[in-house]
Amino acid sequence: MGTPRSVKQPMYYSLKGEPQPIYERDDEGNIIYLIVGGENVPKETGETTSGYGKPEPFKNSIGGQLSQADIEAYGVQDTTVATMTFNPNQYPFKVGTLIWKNTPVGYKDNGDIDTDTADYSVIGIDKTGKRYWRAIVKANVRDEKD
């Protein structure tokens, strides 16, 4: 069964991609290049970006109960795991996708997404249903600071 519109709430998701190298820059923000074998090659800092894409808005609901079949299929028996249903191919979710439900998307000083600000990450997708698919999501448990 799909998710009723009345319980859907606005959220954001970000798909995990390949981490990209971070390049050294001069005082004006231009990438610094080295000449290697007669070619200009950007100078890498040795660090990489998070590899997550631009957060995209969507509306859905995340439920709290896993069925016995979920527990057996995904090997999880954890109170921080929940499910989200959606129409087949409605979202491009894959394992590692981040979801922000209650908190705003956070960014690091270098402009990368702060993955620690995500409320959930997708740990599995059940695509066996003909009428709907389910994402198994794990809550990002944060230390509360006083």
86 within some domain: yes
My answer on whether 39 and 78 are in the same domain is no
How much is the pLDDT for 126?
A: 83
What would the pLDDT profile of 84-133 be if each residue is shown by its tens digit? 889 998 999 999 999 999 999 999 887 788 999 999 999 888 888 788 88
My answer on whether 32 and 76 are in the same domain is no
Amino acid identity, position 104: P
My answer on whether 114 and 58 are in the same domain is yes
27 within some domain: yes
My answer on whether 35 and 92 are in the same domain is no
Cβ–Cβ < 8 Å for 42, 70: no
Mean pLDDT, the chain, integer: 83
Spell 107-126 as b/e; 16+ CB within 10 A means b: eeeeebbebebbbbbbbbbb
88 within some domain: yes
31 within some domain: yes
My answer on whether 9 and 60 are in the same domain is yes
Highest mean pLDDT of the ranges 1-10, 34-43, 72-81: 34-43
Range of the domain at 23: 18-49
Q: How confident is the model at residue 20 (pLDDT cuts 50, 70, 90)?
A: confident
Count of domains forming the chain: 2
My answer on whether 61 and 85 are in the same domain is yes
145 within some domain: no
My answer on whether 133 and 93 are in the same domain is yes
My answer on whether 94 and 27 are in the same domain is no
My answer on whether 25 and 37 are in the same domain is yes
Reported as half-sphere exposure (CB side, CA atoms, 13 A), residue 61 has a value of: 11
pTM listed for this prediction: 0.72
Q: How confident is the model at residue 83 (pLDDT cuts 50, 70, 90)?
A: confident
